[in-house]
Structure 1
Amino acid sequence: MSVALGTTRPLPVRTTPVGDPGDLLASLPRSSPYAWIRNGEGIVGWGEAARVAVPPGSGRFAWAREWLAGVLGGAGLPGAGGPGTGPVAFGSFTFDEDAPGSVLVVPQAVLARRDGRAWLTTIGDAPLETVTPVLDPGRISYGDGSLTAPEWEHVVARAAARIRDGELEKVVLARDLVATAERAIDVRLLLSRLAGRYPECYTFSVAGLVGATPELLIRRTGQEIESLVLAGTTARGTGPADDLARGAALLASAKDRHEHECAIASVRTALGPLCSSLETPDEPELLVLPNVQHLASHVTGRLADGASVLDVVAAMHPTAAVGGTPTDLASKVIRELEGMDRAGYAGPVGWIDANGDGEWGIALRSGLVRGRRARLFAGCGIMGDSDPAAELAEAQAKFRVMQYALEG
């Protein structure tokens, strides 16, 4: 089989079973590493067989699907190996549909492992890049991003007041922090630390956007889809008893339960028209991570037609968990108050194969790495009774994920 990369001649695609590769991340060269890993399984890639900047606008996901059909069309492996077998494209989409920066990349080589099987896919003459030692970035210093902490607290207070006035139910506000290292930041080091400390999260790397998100936006396997909805957060406790008390308080919190219900409702609204069946739990459960606890709900369904995973992503983004409720009003308030460009933060990130299967998360707990600098992001769901100081503390707890990745 082959793929047609733009106007160039079709290039052969080869997928070969391989022995257990061990740590997938250890196979990555320093240049342009791509990754999607959870509990040691997933896919990594390197090299670029094709790359495109997706034009901004409301039709960007449809544009991306058409581009992928032209590049990967006919390169799928129906019935052989399942999702991720054959060529794949990694992607990152900006949170704001009108912002530039969305990208799709088809690596020249992809190494994958799932359910005890491993395989290597190459396109054309895939580069045999040397895997060099992972480098430490040295001392890390931090500076304010778009807003100082007091300025951001003021923004939270203004948003909460607008919610109390009845303008909207919820809005998610993000803030950024700038990290500067002594030496160029090696993305592979961040990936290794994140995957090791947060194995239950999806550790990702796409075009400089690196992170470990707990939130699975959508997984498509044939007609079956899954989503993990997170909304409502508290920090971990100082000990086992405090931890249990914090978790119980989160489950009992009217503010956090309402925030979670808003998120579930937005998923039902988005997925309902695409699905012949859809199941959402009556009650959330606790997802306990090393730094925070979340209210979580696992959603499953079956697609009614042949929609690709990107079609589902288009229908779901932005969810109430990262935007707010109602979506349009929340997006307007974000643009007015947040005071920064989110870039890929809280946007869809993941991969898609030639059959339309794939996994996409929401780019949370992440940073945008450029040379010696990394722009870190964190966000909080704001309700009418939100306390600005408490929201700032929650954002600080979420920053610690990427701070750990940088500092160890």
Structure 2
Amino acid sequence: MNRRYIVALSFLLAFGLIACAGGGVTETPPVFVTSPQGNRVEALAMTTPRANAAAIRLRDGRVLICGGTATGQIGGVLSSAELYDPVARTFTPTGSMTVPRTGQTITMLSDGRVLLTGGDKNAGYRSQLASAEIYDPSTGTFSATGSMSTPREGHTATLLRDGQVLVAGGSPNGIQTTGSAEVYDPASGTFNRTGHLHQPRVAHVAALLGTGQVLIAGGGRGGMPGGYISYDTAETYDPATGRFTTVFAHMKSDRVGAAAVRLNDGRVLIVGGKSGKVIVGMRTLASMAPLNTAEIYDPELGTFIRTGDMSAPHYLATATTLDNGNVLVVGGWTIRGPIVVGMRDAEVFMPETNVFSHVGQTNVARLTNTATLLNDGEVLIAGGLADKALVTASVEFYSPRQHRFLMIPESSGGASSTLAQ
């Protein structure tokens, strides 16, 4: 299961979190690097700028990147998709999705096909999708499959041990929040209703536990009399009974728009997000403050344990487990003047010590980018909202061996990576 735990871009727009000055949100200018021959050339990039897209590594090592928004405006949502070939170091178009989608979930099925669910077809209220589709790597095409019972954005999709996929929570219209859940059966190509969340959640996190159960934690709820609220609660889903059970222990912080991964030892790391509780003196204020904190869920103890803090707050960041078991956290949300832009901060979590280590900065600021572990151990960082709220097609690679982010010349033919200039 490869899941990005971020809110759809239209969800941000609906809550007034992105205010773009001036006209459109367009692509960033080209990024240049120094080639192995010493020439200043354009850096490798996707075929089109994408923010809030979905990406996953296929069984043959290639990376599928699909959908997202090219502009952040009405009409800017993409149906196109492309493949990154790590051997040739190239991006090439593949078949287009059946409908434009941004903020969709992406899940690898047991047979190697890829399931896409929900997301938004446009920026704005009631643009959420109930439809789903399948990408077949053998043919390079997308095809429609059964639809969900309700439109969803900001939901989660988790591959279960039996090959089915649990889809939980989200928003059906960009404002309200649902507690419904359903299970996708690849054999029949249909969604079937299952148990109901104890709390309606959007922008929560989900992770498959070693027991086969699914942890659902944090998130928030819109459409409330007091406005938007965020949760410090969690629950687990049991596929054997089709029911959700409340976790007795609460999280160390309420979190919406966090990122989460299951660690190699079976624990679940939950990083960043935003909290609706800000303590000033003896008073608790509600202002949705970005978090630099993280915590771990221990399924054996059923408790949450706070880890060391990150060097910077990361809201709507990506979290990727590296081959050595460490976790790379990249990018997120920050405000520059009147607009929301991406950030360049990144860090690595080390489970053995439960602390974070700062690993410098990305070459391009990023928000709602994708992050995909490659077969060689590097992480492909692609797209997102960059400086000045511009959507970028740029890509870069995190090298665990060098502990830094690298960019490569376009058409390098596999030449060694170089730092951006």
- Fold conserved between structures, TM > 0.5: no
Q: Pick 1 or 2: higher relative contact order, CA cutoff 8 A, min separation 6.
A: 1
TM-score (normalised: structure 1): 0.26
- Please give the TM-score of this superposition, normalised by the length of structure 2: 0.25
